[in-house]
């Protein structure tokens, strides 16, 4: 398995596992820790976590494919998630996504994760972000933004280094 895991992550893994009476219950937390460290969850990470928790890789991989917050591919330094569910769709999220894609040289027809050539931004559509009254809504990394116009999106991106 070709995975370079630093001691800090190994320590975090042990700490997380210690919180649960059964090792397998730490699966989601380990996936979060690996994505936080590596930027995505690779096949090697899935295999490593499965071995660590005495699970089969498929038991871990099914979590990666079920939960939309996990990425199998590397993303840009800043990940923008645009809500595409009904209120936001009616509120202009398609236009917002199109604006972002045009600005970053990405394909507006693609709803999944796309990354700009310079690796600075990734953009993707996601389902409801639970702020339907302030559509359109997007997240930039962990920050939540409401009523996002094209101008507001430009300002948000300008603040990203
Ligand atoms: S529909 Fe966009 S936040 Fe709910």
State pTM to two decimals.
Answer: 0.76
Question: How far does the centroid of ligand 1 lie from the alpha carbon of residue 129, in Å?
Answer: 5
Q: What is the Cα–Cα distance from 104 to 108, expressed in whole angstroms?
A: 10
Q: Point out the ligand 1 atom lying closest to the alpha carbon of residue 86.
A: 1
Question: How far does the centroid of ligand 1 lie from the alpha carbon of residue 95, in Å?
Answer: 15
Phi, psi of 125 (to 5 degrees): -85, 145
pLDDT tens-digit series, residues 83-114: 999 999 999 999 999 999 999 999 999 999 99
The radius of gyration computed from the CA coordinates of the chain, to the nearest angstrom, equals 18
Do the beta carbons of residue 96 and residue 153 sit within 8 Å? yes
Give the distance from CA 61 to its chain's centroid: 16
Domains of the chain: 7-66 (1.10.10), 78-158 (3.40.30.10)
pLDDT tens-digit series, residues 34-89: 998 998 999 999 999 999 999 999 999 999 999 878 999 889 999 999 999 999 99
């Amino acid at each position: 398995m070709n995975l370079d895991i630093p001691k800090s992550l190994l320590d975090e893994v042990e700490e997380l596992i210690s919180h649960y009476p059964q090792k397998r219950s730490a699966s989601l937390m380990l996936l979060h820790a690996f994505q936080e460290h590596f930027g995505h969850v690779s096949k090697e990470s899935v295999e490593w976590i499965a071995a660590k928790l005495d699970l089969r890789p498929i038991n871990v991989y099914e979590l990666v494919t079920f939960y939309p917050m996990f990425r199998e591919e590397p993303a840009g330094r800043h990940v923008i998630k645009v809500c595409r569910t009904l209120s936001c769709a009616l509120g202009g999220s398609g236009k917002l996504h199109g604006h972002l894609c045009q600005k970053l040289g990405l394909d507006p027809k693609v709803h999944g994760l796309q990354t700009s050539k310079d690796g600075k931004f990734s953009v993707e559509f996601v389902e409801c972000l639970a702020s339907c009254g302030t559509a359109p809504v997007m997240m930039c990394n962990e920050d939540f933004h409401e009523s996002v116009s094209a101008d507001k999106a430009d300002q948000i991106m300008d603040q990203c280094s």
